[in-house]
A and B are shown apart, each in its own frame.
Chain A
């Protein structure tokens, strides 16, 4: 399922359509959203590098993370890819409001020119979305070597930060402008859903073709602490072009080298013996049965079971046994030897089938009308 999302990002836009947009939304209960979007980012990077993707370049808009975290290879990424110039970063982290220009006018400009690698473009005014869009498109041009026919992917690492500076209408028009831009192949963004009103999140969800809900494994009450930050599940809701919506759930586990996805395991799919084993208390002796012991136990014939002649057990319900009666009609005894035996037995003991019962005491009257619970005071 996550492969489908990665494929969607790889395949990019169809002719005459808006670019697909993948939205990752998380809350404070997992905060694994960055890791999940990192996963798609790295798979996209390897696709672009191997020229498997429709896009030939990638523009990362760094709002919540340092621009270095994109250009310098981090151990989190799978493989050791060295980002080339196809990866461009629009740095909205260092100076989003232009304070540095005021604080240190000459010096800051110099440092932005010399220290930073050419991959990074610093945006000094995030409050102006038009200029931000221009920065993104310029970086995209640089990523694809100014070839007008090639496309690029845009990654916005936190829409929540943009929502700090902008109203919802401005932001949605920015996002749809990005999507409808001819050179944009796909857009990937991350939203912290619990920071905004539900209508804000919903309107951004309307703009996205795929929404990935990142959720904790258990639904905890708001006060409870998180049990495992590295585990959780994702709910992927994909909107097809024809309007069909598909939703799937997968579990994830954040590991050293990336995120592992696995299908959800249900309790009923679990192996019962293993469940049993976990419930046995820890004692010095063995409470479990070995395979041979289990086999032997299954061979033991319990006293109430029909023994001896291998016949099917019939419970006597007052009517004569149909099989026996048929035999009798024919004048045959089916089991003569046994009949003889029982006759012998009967003659030797005198009485057959008698029940001896001794009353405990004479106080107890059989079949008395007295209520046995009479003395109970309810």
Chain B
């Protein structure tokens, strides 16, 4: 169901695309990362020769590998196997020897910011990944951008530059695509004189830019995860709103613009359904 809403053909993400997952405290969006990771890895695993492989670089700052490994295993995808055969590179930035923090010691390199150092690492990994086919696609997944912002000392500009650099990496014929998770409620979006009071005129401009808002402007597709608007329910755990800002993931004819789906998280699966529909 989610694939339909995303108009995702299942053959990896389009090159250069930026998929933004925006969650909040009441509804965490981490499950979507696992969902997409599994889809990306398995869609290429059973493909025939003509099928382009998707390689994933996972930059983890929120959860360790064992967390994702366990969830993916329940859903029938062996991340260890994928990691061993080089399809998945897991960059665990929470482990000891975090390159972002240890870069102070490596004084030989001329880096101005921790994220530049991180970019160099990601760049090196992407370039080193074995490529069988020039049309192979590479996806960089980041969990999450809010923590990246913290490690950059609260400078959202650097996070945006980092993401842009990630999208611009050339592998074979294609650029990398990026899937990034960001918390939508950790920074305020509109000031006191927000859109409610000011409208769209000149008076409404008293806004402060935040990371999530900036990302919204550059994202191709935004998937926002919210709790159920009508309150808690046993059978529905929340809702996702998919917004196609550009046409990279959908043809114009089929583009719905905005679509809302509800989801239920189960032990070994996540099911999506239309609001009011059954499981």
Interface residues of A (CB under 8 A from B): 27-29, 31, 34, 64, 66, 93-97, 99-100, 102-104, 111, 115, 160, 164-165, 192-198, 201-202, 213, 215-216, 219, 221-222, 225-230, 255-256
B243 within 8 A of A: yes
Q: A164-B160, A197-B205, A216-B200 are in contact. List 4 more A-B contacts (CB 8 A).
A: A66-B16, A104-B123, A195-B214, A198-B205
B202 within 8 A of A: yes
Within 8 Å by CB of A222, from B109, B110, B190, B218, lies B190
Known: A104-B123, A193-B205, A197-B205. A221 touches B258 (CB 8 A): no
Q: Is the CB of A230 within 8 A of B217?
A: no
Bound complex: CA of A229 vs CA of B165, how far in Å? 28
Q: Is the CB of A229 within 8 A of B16?
A: no
Within 8 Å by CB of A95, from B127, B168, B203, lies B168
State the majority secondary structure of interface residues on A: loop
Query: In the complex, how many angstroms separate the beta carbon of B27 from the nearest chain A beta carbon?
Result: 16
Q: Is the CB of A194 within 8 A of B258?
A: no
Q: Is the CB of B205 within 8 A of A102?
A: no
Query: In the complex, how many angstroms separate the beta carbon of B271 from the nearest chain A beta carbon?
Result: 23
Q: Is the CB of B120 within 8 A of A228?
A: no
User: Residues of B contacting A115 with CB < 8 Å?
Assistant: 170
Within 8 Å by CB of B245, from A31, A164, A194, A197, lies A31
A-B residue pairs in contact (CB < 8 Å), sample of 5: A160-B217, A194-B209, A198-B203, A219-B200, A225-B241
Bound complex: CA of A104 vs CA of B208, how far in Å? 36
User: Residues of B contacting A227 with CB < 8 Å?
Assistant: 258
Bound complex: CA of A27 vs CA of B165, how far in Å? 24
User: Residues of A contacting B165 with CB < 8 Å?
Assistant: 95, 97, 99-100
**In this complex, which of A102, A201, A221, A256 has the most chain B Cβ atoms within 10 angstroms of its Cβ?**
A102
Bound complex: CA of A237 vs CA of B62, how far in Å? 47
Within 8 Å by CB of A164, from B157, B194, B204, lies B157
User: Residues of B contacting A111 with CB < 8 Å?
Assistant: 170
B84 within 8 A of A: no
Within 8 A of A (CB), among B177-228: 189-190, 194-196, 199-200, 202-209, 213-214, 216-218
User: Residues of B contacting A213 with CB < 8 Å?
Assistant: 200
Within 8 A of A (CB), among B160-174: 160-161, 164-165, 168, 170
Q: Is the CB of A194 within 8 A of B207?
A: yes
User: Residues of A contacting B55 with CB < 8 Å?
Assistant: none
Look across to chain A and name the residue whose beta carbon is closest to the beta carbon of B252: A256
Query: In the complex, how many angstroms separate the beta carbon of A255 from the nearest chain B beta carbon?
Result: 8
Contact with A along B231-273 (1 / 0, CB 8 A): 0000000000101111000001101011010000000000000
Within 8 A of A (CB), among B68-115: 109-111
Bound complex: CA of A215 vs CA of B204, how far in Å? 13
Known: A195-B209, A222-B194. A215 touches B257 (CB 8 A): no
Q: Is the CB of B257 within 8 A of A194?
A: no
Bound complex: CA of A194 vs CA of B203, how far in Å? 11
Query: In the complex, how many angstroms separate the beta carbon of A111 from the nearest chain B beta carbon?
Result: 7
Query: In the complex, how many angstroms separate the beta carbon of A215 from the nearest chain B beta carbon?
Result: 5
Bound complex: CA of A165 vs CA of B208, how far in Å? 16
User: Residues of A contacting B277 with CB < 8 Å?
Assistant: none
B116 within 8 A of A: yes
B124 within 8 A of A: yes
User: Residues of A contacting B216 with CB < 8 Å?
Assistant: 28
Q: Is the CB of A103 within 8 A of B190?
A: no
Query: In the complex, how many angstroms separate the beta carbon of B13 from the nearest chain A beta carbon?
Result: 15
Q: Is the CB of A29 within 8 A of B200?
A: yes
**In this complex, which of B16, B161, B217, B245 has the most chain A Cβ atoms within 10 angstroms of its Cβ?**
B217
Q: Is the CB of B258 within 8 A of A226?
A: yes
Bound complex: CA of A47 vs CA of B55, how far in Å? 43
Known: A102-B110, A201-B205, A228-B257. A66 touches B168 (CB 8 A): yes
Look across to chain B and name the residue whose beta carbon is closest to the beta carbon of A91: B168
B65 within 8 A of A: no
Q: Is the CB of A99 within 8 A of B120?
A: yes
Bound complex: CA of A28 vs CA of B258, how far in Å? 13
Within 8 Å by CB of A196, from B119, B123, B209, B246, lies B209
Look across to chain A and name the residue whose beta carbon is closest to the beta carbon of B116: A99
Bound complex: CA of A353 vs CA of B10, how far in Å? 90
Q: Is the CB of A94 within 8 A of B119?
A: no
Query: In the complex, how many angstroms separate the beta carbon of B151 from the nearest chain A beta carbon?
Result: 16
B175 within 8 A of A: yes
Bound complex: CA of A228 vs CA of B256, how far in Å? 8
Q: Is the CB of A66 within 8 A of B124?
A: no
Q: Is the CB of B257 within 8 A of A230?
A: yes
Bound complex: CA of A115 vs CA of B205, how far in Å? 43
User: Residues of A contacting B204 with CB < 8 Å?
Assistant: 198
User: Residues of A contacting B110 with CB < 8 Å?
Assistant: 102
Bound complex: CA of A229 vs CA of B196, how far in Å? 20
User: Residues of B contacting A192 with CB < 8 Å?
Assistant: 217
Q: Is the CB of A94 within 8 A of B168?
A: yes
Look across to chain B and name the residue whose beta carbon is closest to the beta carbon of A201: B205
User: Residues of A contacting B245 with CB < 8 Å?
Assistant: 31, 229
User: Residues of B contacting A202 with CB < 8 Å?
Assistant: 202, 205
Q: Is the CB of A103 within 8 A of B120?
A: yes
Within 8 Å by CB of B244, from A66, A104, A229, lies A229
Bound complex: CA of A216 vs CA of B257, how far in Å? 13
Q: Is the CB of B243 within 8 A of A226?
A: yes
Look across to chain B and name the residue whose beta carbon is closest to the beta carbon of A165: B157
Bound complex: CA of A219 vs CA of B203, how far in Å? 14
Query: In the complex, how many angstroms separate the beta carbon of A189 from the nearest chain B beta carbon?
Result: 15
Known: A66-B168, A219-B199, A229-B245. A102 touches B111 (CB 8 A): yes
Q: Is the CB of B123 within 8 A of A100?
A: yes
Query: In the complex, how many angstroms separate the beta carbon of B53 from the nearest chain A beta carbon?
Result: 22
